Amino acid sequence: MASKSTRRVLLGVTGGIAAYKAAELCRLLTQDGSDVQVVMTPAACRFITDTTMQALSGKAVLTDLWDSRPASGMPHIELTRDRDIIVVAPASADFLAKLAAGLADDLLSTLCLARECPLLVAPAMNRQMWESPATQRNLRALGGDGVRIAGPASGDQACGEVGPGRMLEAEEIYREIIAALQPAVLAGVRVLVTAGPTFEAIDAVRGITNRSSGRMGYAIAQAAIDAGADVTLVSGPTALSAPARARLVPVVSAQEMLDAVNANVADCEIFVSVAAVADYRVARPASHKMKKSDETLTLELEPTVDILASVAKRPDPPFCVGFAVESQDLERLAEDKRRRKKLPLLAANLAQDAIGSEESELVLLDESGQHRLARAPKAVQARRLVEHIARLFRSGASVKLKAVRR
């Protein structure tokens, strides 16, 4: 990844009310020492002035394909040659369609087509435009072309409606930029991640579940993709959108998750078990909705299969990473779990600190001891964890652990 002082970003701004957020994004980037070159479409100039962006970036803003100010006289090619990444925020539906079709009729679209660096887009549009089959088709095409898509979020929109299409906040896009520039420490490695809760049926409508949001598992899947890995994500029920380049396998129950893991684990080299899998399930769930009565209801529970332990016990297991969520005595209980399951690495945190939160503090436990990761957003923690996994994986930690087992 480019260092903090040398990170070079080309920030593209297209037409849309969310263009005002581009000013804050530019400020965040320049504040951390990044070199930012802003390019605006003619439509963007109707929402925010190039004077504003020039003041924030410290550089003249380019808007015209025929601008002769760059010394080479070919800005549509040369402007990207020293850039680490192109970021288009906001990216309108029209601009996404141009990218998907390979059209280049203005400076920004031409730069994107002639680039030699990664491209990240932050969509922003009305919810009907976002949900349009044409827009979704364009997004799939862009994802297949390796374009990183940040967002959008769901919420209040300038048109007065509520729904998906709202551009991410500047701070969120900034984090996406940092993530996109991470080194490919897992290039070509096949990674299997489990995430989210499971739901164990009591009857046709009721069930036993837990408060896991799935955020950490999804963040780890994204971080592994950013690191160059080929990721399969087995997910219980969540309200999250899976990373664009992950192969998603949706499941509901612990048994379905076990079956999905067993179907995919032979092809993976690293297994990260983040899902909060139910420890027990109802022995005999009712096939129809049970009617409420004044009598006490007794449920017989039976243990589910420990998915992580079953993978770790395989004759030739992948590099296994576990998670431990405890409510007390974190380090001792987590290390006991790691040793009991013979894992090369386990990440632990407190339930009251992590569940339902956007941030967490992690303690990583491996054969060399403990490594504490200070409290940070889960996306940041996921990148730190993936970097640690990569170091251990490349150093052959799993091979050494197999020798100890023997």
As annotated, the active-site residues are: 159
Residues 6 or more apart in contact with residue 363 via CB below 8 angstroms: 330, 331, 334, 347, 348, 349, 370, 371, 372, 373
DSSP state of 287: S
Residue of 355, 281, 307, 359 lying closest to 192 (CA atoms)? 307
Q: Which residues are paired to 86 by β-bridges? A: 10, 119
DSSP state of 62: B
Q: How far is CA 154 from the centre of its chain?
A: 17
Q: How many Cα atoms sit within 13 Å of 381 on the Cβ side?
A: 25
Return the residue matching tokens 């640690």.
388
CA 101 → CA 10, 32, 104, 109, 152, distances in Å?
21, 34, 9, 11, 21
Q: Token pair of 86, please?
A: 């192109």
Q: How far is CA 94 from the centre of its chain?
A: 25
For 206-220, give one letter per residue: b (16+ CB within 10 A) or e.
ebbbbebbbbbbbbb
